[in-house]
Amino acid sequence: MAIIVQKFGGSSVADAAKVKNVASRVIDTYQEGNSVVVVVSAQGDTTDDLIDKAHEINENPSKREMDMLLASGEQISIVLLAMAIEDRGFPVISLTGWQAGFVTNSNSGNARIKKIDTERILSELDKKKIVIVAGFQGLDKYDDITTLGRGGSDTSAVAIAAAIHADKCEIYTDVDGVYTADPRIVPSAKKLDAITYDEMLDLASLGANVLHNRSVEMAKKYSVKLEVKSSFEKVDGTIVKEAVSVEKMLIRGVARDNDVARIAIVGLEDKPGIAFRVFSLLAKKGINVDVILQSIGREGKKDISFTVTKNHMQEAIKLLEAEKETLCYDEITHRDDISKVSIVGAGMVNNPGVAAKMFEALYDAGINIHMISTSETKISVLINVNNAERAVQAIHDKFLI
């Protein structure tokens, strides 16, 4: 007998037939004699629809009220799944995040799990019940409902698996594993049998939303055995683990992230301390800066461009405009019609020419690069958003076909 955590994403529970399909998969695992904890997301596009609903009423709702609203999506799916399992005659209980013991910090909209008080989950498992837990939500120390950031149910599942020392954590979704690129963009993408935590973390952080990046971080930290599988087909998925037998792959995958905006501060004074002032201003407000580019100084002036997520663009511009006098720049420009396309792979360490090969693929496709950022195991380029899918395809073909 094993303890198994299974997570089913929004598309896997999108309608009644799909909820019943999930119930069958869960019951199969239970009937094999396992203790089963199931984490579910909100059905289909529910979370997006709730966000739209909120904005019809208030364009700028407080994060606290937004979390109250968004958490309701998952509460519907846990109940529907529990009812489907009940209907099949199996013992089951649905639990909200807080009933399941999720304690988070107070960073509404992007809260971090601090701990899980596992007594309730464990006592229900002791009673031989299938336990269904709402993903994506918890409670902070003020008893306010929090959510874990978009895609956060994966993290809920891994956190439970770590906390109750589950034997494995299975992430069921609408694709049958992790591919060398999003199979919806690149039909020739290949399914990976296995991928390391580090490579998966890079892919997820760079836009491969098949796993929430923090779920991978947590799986690595607590050595959770993780598998990404299809909700609909019974085939082997992709195992995410510490080490993968070395295959001759220069890169493991290509990712795309459209949630990028670029801000350029033009004509800053070219003197020490300017970059420090710009970025500490943003850091103090919790604005995460990604790719940074500083031009070579000319006539005592320089430009600094950087990227932030789209939802931080206006706030960042406002902060910089408020400091125009002290920062002494000519102007600020911005655009959010851009995308970040990246390649990831431990195989590129000590392999010169990987970047050149990536840029050649883009050149052959006639795609202009705005910014570049590299590390030992990843290379990212910023390009126009309308070129992004072509870029992913071209880069994928160059390295992985």
Q: Are strands 378-384 and 371-374 parallel, antiparallel or unpaired?
A: antiparallel
Q: Which of the listed partners (Mg ion, ligand ADP, ligand ASP, none) does 208 bind, with a CB threshold of 5 to 8 Å by partner kind?
A: ligand ADP
**One symbol per residue from 234 to 263: x for binding ligand ADP (CB under 6 A), - otherwise; what is it?**
-------------------x----------
Which of Mg ion, ligand ASP, ligand ADP, none lies near 150, with the C-beta cut-off 5 to 8 A by kind?
ligand ASP
Q: Which residue is nearest to Mg ion (CB)?
A: 151
The 3-state DSSP class for residue 162 equals helix
Whole-number Å distance between alpha carbons of 350 and 192: 23
Residue from the set 151, 177, 253, 347 that interacts with ligand ASP by CB under 6 A? 151
Which residue in the block uniquely carries the two structure tokens 């295959």? 247
Tell whether residue 41 is a contact of ligand ADP (CB under 6 A).
yes
Which residues, 24 to 43, sit near ligand ASP by CB under 6 A?
A: 41-42
Which of 170, 182, 202, 290 is close enough to bind ligand ADP by CB under 6 A?
182
Closer to ligand ADP by Cβ: residue 229 or 302: 229
Question: Are the C-beta atoms of 37 and 57 separated by less than 8 Å?
Answer: no
Question: Which 141-160 residues touch ligand ADP, going by CB under 6 A?
Answer: 151
The residue from 136, 172, 197, 399 that contacts ligand ASP (CB under 6 A) is: 136
Residue 95 has a CB neighbour count (10 Å cut-off) of 19
Residue 181 in the binding site for ligand ADP (CB under 6 A): yes
Which candidate, 321, 316, 331, 327, places its Cα nearest to that of 271? 327
Looking at beta carbons only, is 74 or 176 nearer to ligand ASP? 74
Closest CA to 188 of 49, 399, 393, 395: 393
For residues 321 and 79, give the distance between their C-alpha atoms in angstroms, rounded to a whole number: 48
For residue 119, with 0-12 CB atoms within 10 Å meaning exposed, 13-18 middle and 19 or more buried, which class applies? exposed
Q: Could you give the CA distance from residue 184 to residue 282 in angstroms, rounded to a whole number?
A: 35
Q: How far is the first Cα of the chain from the last one, in angstroms, to the nearest whole number?
A: 42
The window from 25-33, 145-153, 234-242, 284-292 that contacts Mg ion (CB under 5 A) reads 145-153
Which residues are bridge partners to 122 per DSSP? Answer: none
Please, which of residues 50-109 interact with ligand ASP by CB under 6 A? 73
* Other CB atoms within 10 A of residue 293 CB: 16
10 interacts with ligand ADP by CB under 6 A = yes
Q: How far is the CB of 162 from Mg ion (least distance, A)?
A: 18
CB 183 within 8 A of CB 232: no
Question: Sheet containing 92-95: which strands, arranged edge to edge?
Answer: 92-95, 130-134, 35-40, 3-8, 168-173, 226-230, 238-241, 194-196
Give the interface size with ligand ADP as a residue count (CB under 6 A).
19
Does 151 interact with Mg ion (rule: CB under 5 A)? Answer: yes
- For ligand ADP, the closer of residues 132 and 208 by Cβ is 208
Residue 174 binds which entry of ligand ASP, ligand ADP, Mg ion, none, with Cβ cut-offs from 5 to 8 Å by kind? ligand ADP
3-state secondary structure of 398: helix
Nearer to ligand ADP, 209 or 258 (CB): 209
Cα-trace Rg, the chain: 23
**Nearer residue to ligand ADP within complex by CB, 99 or 209:** 209
Our finding on whether 208 is near ligand ADP (CB under 6 A) is yes
Shortest CB 36 distance to ligand ASP, Å: 19
Tokens of 92: 């089951």
CB 383 within 8 A of CB 341: yes
Residues near ligand ASP, by CB under 6 A? 9-10, 41-42, 47, 73, 135-136, 150-153
Residues near ligand ADP, by CB under 6 A? 9-12, 41, 151, 173-175, 178-179, 181-184, 208-210, 253
Residues near Mg ion, by CB under 5 A? 9, 151
